[in-house]
Amino acid sequence: MREAGTPGAARRVNDPAGLVRLLSAGDRIYLPGAGAEVPALVDALCAASAPPLHITGAFVPGINPVPVERLPEGSIWSSPFAQPAPSGSQAGGRLRHLPMSYGAFASHLRGATFDVGFVHVSPPDANGLCSLGIAVEFTPIALQRCRRIFAVVNPRMPRIPGAETFALARADAVLELDTPLREYDVGTPSPQASRIAELIAGFVIDGSTLQVGLGKTPDALMRIVADRRGLRLHSGMLSDATRLLADGGSLDPRALHASCVHVGTAAYYDWLADRADFAVRACDYTHGPATLAGLPRLVAVNSALSVDLFGQANLEMLDGRMISGVGGAADFAQAASLAHDGVSIIALPATSGRNAVSRITARLDGVCSLPRHAIDVVITEHGVADLRGLAVTERAERLVAIAAPEHRGALQDAWKDIAARF
């Protein structure tokens, strides 16, 4: 393993295929995800001439597609996220979904070993330090466990003063590549998302620390709370709506607003460059228990695929298929629910699909991603179920009340059968 700061004899290559040619069959490699993904490198890893590899990385569903069907025969992809991959990908061993939160995955990486770790950075400054820019996530942790490090130096990666850095002298191979960064555009919030966001906003007061995920509801929420003051941001991911809060004076000017990644549009990345009020840190800090325990008035807002009448949430399975992972939701939800001034919120539409299937269910139709003791409040467009301090039956009554009206009768009947056994 490479010790931090150990200089390497860097080999310069001309394209992603040149980096892949330096790999050997069976190598264990770490590949950064989110905005640090290099799509051209992923394509090179899937080329006919590429060797089979054991790849580990946190590719995020909806942002970083995992090309399971294109990987060379014998390759294995390990990630804390499942992906909408061909049926049998997990059973066949090609896709290894590690059911871990971001905090747990960070701990897992500290005990792993890799033959090669990839890093995607800005050009170096006068001291030879490159910025990890918009996406730090697990990279600094993984690089400490790598025998060799391959660096992709991209002039489009913004230099953010509060982002972690990488000394280019540590690299064993360097590719200079001018390529667009992964983008995420949430689009216009729907009326449903805006209604849910309005209800969430009632829990966000001046001086709150806000954690949100990605999507139309978090984006709408950030717009609605733009009239608050002294807000702090501490999240796994931040996106374009962050700019609205900053430019509108909603953010606490004394705070350093932290995340492990930023995922948004190219215009947002340009805006982030050289800003000193944002920290982009590794997940062992952003999702670490000690860090989260020190956040004042933490409002953790996460989404789910379904919530049952016990108040448990499924964030990972849909129609019997694993399509995602718990991500950082488990770390933030637990921290917010334990904080005396915090609140853990799950927000979701009341129904899904063309048949308007209820997402408030009698029992979970997937795994329990978040236990009931880590969820304080559940919100749909039909209302707020504040579950704090309630008994089991009282919680069920409140959850039925925020289901879609056409599903409430069936849920009440199902709960009567469940509760009769208590």
Taking residues 36-59, what's their average pLDDT?
A: 97
Residue 85 has pLDDT above 80, yes or no: no
**pLDDT value at residue 5:** 42
Residue 45 has pLDDT above 60, yes or no: yes
Task: Enter the pTM of the model.
Answer: 0.95
pLDDT one-digit tens code per residue, 174-202 = 999 999 999 998 888 899 999 999 999 99
105: which residues sit within 8 A by CB, 6+ positions away? Answer: 58, 80, 98, 138, 283
Least confident of 14-23, 81-90, 273-282: 81-90
Residue 305 has pLDDT above 60, yes or no: yes
**By percentage, how much of the chain surpasses pLDDT 70?**
97
Burial of residue 394, with CB atoms counted within 10 A of its CB: 0-12 exposed, 13-18 middle, 19 or more buried: exposed
Give me the long-range contacts of 270-274 (CB less than 8 A, separation at least 24). Answer: 270/158, 271/243, 272/134, 272/158, 272/160, 273/158, 273/159, 273/160, 274/158, 274/159, 274/160, 274/161
pLDDT one-digit tens code per residue, 366-390 = 899 999 999 999 999 999 999 999 9
CB 154 within 8 A of CB 132: no
User: For the chain, how big is the Rg over CA atoms in Å?
Assistant: 22
pLDDT one-digit tens code per residue, 216-273 = 999 999 999 999 999 999 999 999 999 999 999 999 999 999 999 999 999 999 999 9
CB 261 within 8 A of CB 235: no
**pLDDT value at residue 4:** 40
**pLDDT value at residue 91:** 65
From residue 420, how far is each of 252, 401, 413, 417 by CA, in Å? 51, 20, 11, 5
Most confident range, picked from 65-69, 185-189, 339-343 = 339-343
CA–CA gap between residue 318 and residue 314 (Å, rounded): 9
pLDDT greater at residue 109 or residue 8: 109
pLDDT one-digit tens code per residue, 99-148 = 999 999 999 999 999 999 999 999 999 999 999 999 999 999 999 999 99
Residue 3 has pLDDT above 70, yes or no: no
Taking residues 395-420, what's their average pLDDT?
A: 98
Structural domains present in the chain: 11-176 (3.40.1080.10), 191-419 (3.40.1080.20)
133: which residues sit within 8 A by CB, 6+ positions away? Answer: 35, 36, 121, 122, 157, 158, 159, 160, 163, 269, 280
CB 223 within 8 A of CB 246: no
Taking residues 309-332, what's their average pLDDT?
A: 95
Q: Which of the four pLDDT bands, split at 50, 70 and 90, describes residue 84? A: confident
Q: What are phi and psi of 304, to 5 degrees?
A: -150, 160
CB 233 within 8 A of CB 245: yes
* Cα atoms in the Cβ-side hemisphere of radius 13 Å centred on 188: 2
Burial of residue 312, with CB atoms counted within 10 A of its CB: 0-12 exposed, 13-18 middle, 19 or more buried: buried
Taking residues 289-298, what's their average pLDDT?
A: 98
**pLDDT value at residue 263:** 96
**pLDDT value at residue 237:** 96
Q: Which of the four pLDDT bands, split at 50, 70 and 90, describes residue 64? A: very high
**By percentage, how much of the chain surpasses pLDDT 90?**
90
Summary mean pLDDT of the chain: 95
